[in-house]
Homo-oligomer: A and B are copies of this chain.
Amino acid sequence: MEEWTVKVNHCAVKKEKPQTDQLEFGRIFTDHMFVMDYSEPLGWHDARIVPYQPLTIDPSAMIFHYGQSVFEGLKAYQTPEGTIQLFRPEKNLQRLNRSNDRLCIPAIDEAFILEALKQLIYLDKEWIPSAEGTSLYIRPFIISTEPYIGVAPSHQYKFVIILSPVGAYYKEGINPVKIAVENHYVRAVKGGTGEAKTGGNYASSLKAQETCSQKGFAQVLWLDGVEKKYIEEVGSMNVFFKINGKVYTPMLNGSILEGVTRNSVIQLLKHWNIPVIEEKLSMEKLYQAYLDGELEEAFGTGTAAVISPIGQLSWEDKDLMINNGTTGELAKSLYTTLTNIQYGKEADPFHWVEKVSEAYAVK
């Protein structure tokens, strides 16, 4: 990279910002975006903040044919004092580079991108909503842009970061969902791309998601692709079960995405002296715990919802009602503590929060 600075091209007219009650997820974008190109022999270059605008890409570009792409998802939060904070952003950038490696995409400079991201956020800071539970969703992504329709890693890429103000996930308080265990479709398999955040994993999940929504379920619980016995994850969330006072979550095995929220929940539980067990967890074992009256809570974890309690789990012809379909105490505590840290309402013993200070103001 010839120079590690970000050129800034301000938008001519600022767009109107949405009312808090109009905020949905992922439909409205801010005034600016970050873009950086990769080509050989330059490497990553031309880092710039530009007005939010369409991408102009040759129809033969790899992204349209062979799906070579990766992405991330994190949030910026506004504290009651008006400070802007990120939650463990370095974790997302590390994961982005792990995804890059799996997809044969050249690594990015994590420290530089974090600086650039802070500049972008500070520039568009008026877009960060302040109402309870709202935030600014951050979507970094990399696409392969070489105009060549042969199956091979691209020699050209575009890295883009767009920002979207999002409403509170739980508008009427944290609410349990109904989940169906997926017995037919498979999201990922060992040796595949499950632990990378790449488009194909999500494209392949659409059909199962569509089928389960028609039956009234919010999401599917994926089983392993080999034996269809072991629990993997839910939609865009990792999954946890409280069984007889202990908390279980599937161990990372190459086909599960390593969630930042998952990691934070595990740390919090250990801090609270609650036993956490990462293991190969079968539906059989879970069902047995349910029959024994020991399945106390179940919840998903992810950036969007933070904690999403599971009130009912359908598996084959069995319906598991969990905690009478209500939100458990542990899910509530985790949700409260995590969101309090994210919004700067509680001490941050793990140094998870990173401030976006005035130092990042574009000169």
Q: Which of A164, A191, A203, A204 has the most CB of B within 10 A?
A: A203
Please tell me if the beta carbons of B193 and A225 are within 8 angstroms of each other in the complex. Answer: no
**Residues of chain A from 150 to 170 with CB closer than 8 A to chain B in the complex:** 150-153, 160, 162, 164
Query: Is the CB–CB distance between B206 and A148 below 8 Å?
Result: no
Q: Which of B69, B186, B210 contacts A153 (CB 8 A)?
A: B210
Known: A57-B54, A149-B164. A203 touches B66 (CB 8 A): yes
A225 to chain B, nearest CB (A): 4
B150 touches A25 (CB 8 A): yes
Contact B200 A60 (CB under 8 A): no
CB-CB under 8 A from A102, the residues of chain B are: 207
Give which listed residue, B58, B60, B186, B198, contacts A192 with CB less than 8 A.
Answer: B186
Tally of contact residues, A, Cβ under 8 A: 66
Which of these, B147, B160, B187, B225, contacts A225 with CB under 8 Å?
B225
Q: Which residues of B contact A59 (CB under 8 A)?
A: 29, 33, 52-55, 160, 162
CA distance A103 to B168 in the complex (A): 30
Q: Which residues of B contact A29 (CB under 8 A)?
A: 59-60, 147
**How long is the Cα–Cα vector from A24 to B26 in the complex, in angstroms?**
41
Residue of B with least CB distance to A225: B189
Q: CA of A153 to CA of B205 in the docked complex: distance in angstroms?
A: 10
A56 located at the interface, meaning its Cβ lies under 8 Å from any Cβ of chain B in the complex? yes
Closest CB-CB distance, A160 to chain B, in whole Å?
5
Contacts of A203 in B (CB 8 A): 66-69, 103, 193, 198-200
Query: Do the beta carbons of B147 and A27 come within 8 Å of each other?
Result: yes
Q: Is the CB of A290 closer than 8 A to any CB of chain B?
A: no
A202–B58 Cα gap in the complex (Å)?
A: 19
Q: Give the residues in chain B near A58, CB-CB below 8 Å.
A: 54-55
Q: What is the CA–CA distance of A226 and B49 in the complex, to the nearest angstrom?
A: 45
Please tell me if the beta carbons of A192 and B152 are within 8 angstroms of each other in the complex. no
Q: Are B54 and A199 in contact (CB under 8 A)?
A: no
Chain B contacts for A200, CB-based, 8 A: 67, 193, 198-201, 203-204
Nearest Cβ on chain B to A230's Cβ, whole angstroms:
13
* Bound-complex Cα distance A67 to B63 (A): 8
In the assembled complex, A265 has its CB within 8 A of some CB on chain B: no
The reply on A287 being an interface residue by CB < 8 A is: no
- Is there an interface contact between A67 and B198, defined as CB atoms closer than 8 Å? yes
Q: Is A191 a contact of B54 with CB atoms below 8 Å?
A: no
- Chain B residues contacting A52 (CB-CB under 8 Å) are 59
Which residues in A have some Cβ–Cβ distance to B below 8 Å?
25-27, 29, 33, 52-60, 63-69, 71, 102-104, 137, 139, 141, 143, 147-153, 160, 162, 164, 184-193, 198-207, 209-210, 225-226, 228, 235-236
What are 9 inter-chain pairs, A to B, with CB distance below 8 A? A25-B149, A54-B58, A63-B63, A65-B139, A66-B199, A66-B202, A68-B206, A152-B209, A186-B191
